[in-house]
Homo-oligomer: A and B are copies of this chain.
Amino acid sequence: MTGGRRRSETSRLAILDAARDLLLEGGYEQLTIDAIAGRAGVGKQTIYRWWGSKGAVVADAALEGGLAQPLTPLPDTGDIETDLRRWLRAWTEHLTTAQGTGLILALTAATADDHTVADVLFERFTQPHEQLLRDRLERARGAGQLASDAPVPTIASVLIGSLLYRVLTRQAPPTVDDADLVVRLVLGGAG
């Protein structure tokens, strides 16, 4: 059993592109498999053959479609406060755009809907970003800029969580000042 046509890379990319475009145009609710197939010029079965659900397509589109913030290491100016500010400000600004907000909401809906999507996204999106943050924090701890017993994973999750909370409440989008306050709080405490 050797034969068989190979998977079409053209179709794969057309599907991810279509999903990304439709997501940004109309949000997760408006996104349908029929629309993706139509826009991509592809049969529905070609989608179902390779992805198990709408959420899985969205996750892939986010990861490969260039939707998400690129996964670049945090800058290391030597000063942890400066670097965390920069990182959090960049995300904050990303989440100020309709595109950034829509994406996170879509991914959140997909995550809350479907455990398998949650796992994929955690492994390939959330976890890597969190890891970059942890790496920078560990280096800061090594350099004596953080307490030797500073709970690095907790710091990372708190920083990310505060962003998430802002997006999900769907009230005012987070501002640069908010970002700075969070960094100051996490580094300096409120006591």
A residues sitting closer than 8 Å to B (CB atoms) are: 3, 27-29, 43, 105-106, 108-109, 111-115, 118-119, 122, 126, 145-147, 150-151, 154-155, 157-158, 160-166, 168-171, 178, 181-182, 184-191
Contact = CB atoms under 8 A, between A and B. Distances in A.
Contacts of A28: 112-113
Contacts of A146: 190-191
Interface of A is mostly: helix
User: Which of A43, A147, A158, A181 is packed against the most chain B CB atoms within 10 Å?
Assistant: A158
A153 to B, nearest CB: 9
A155 B119 contact: no
A119 B172 CA distance: 12
Q: How many copies of this chain?
A: 4
User: Which of A109, A112, A147, A171 is packed against the most chain B CB atoms within 10 Å?
Assistant: A112
A185 B155 contact: yes
Contacts of A191: 145-147, 187-189
Contacts of A186: 158, 185-186, 189-190
A122 B171 contact: yes
Given A147-B191, A186-B190, A113 B109 contact: yes
Nearest to A140: B190
Contact of A108 (B108, B157, B163): B108
A29 B29 CA distance: 12
A145 to B, nearest CB: 7
Contacts of A169: 118, 122, 126
Given A178-B154, A185-B151, A170 B113 contact: no
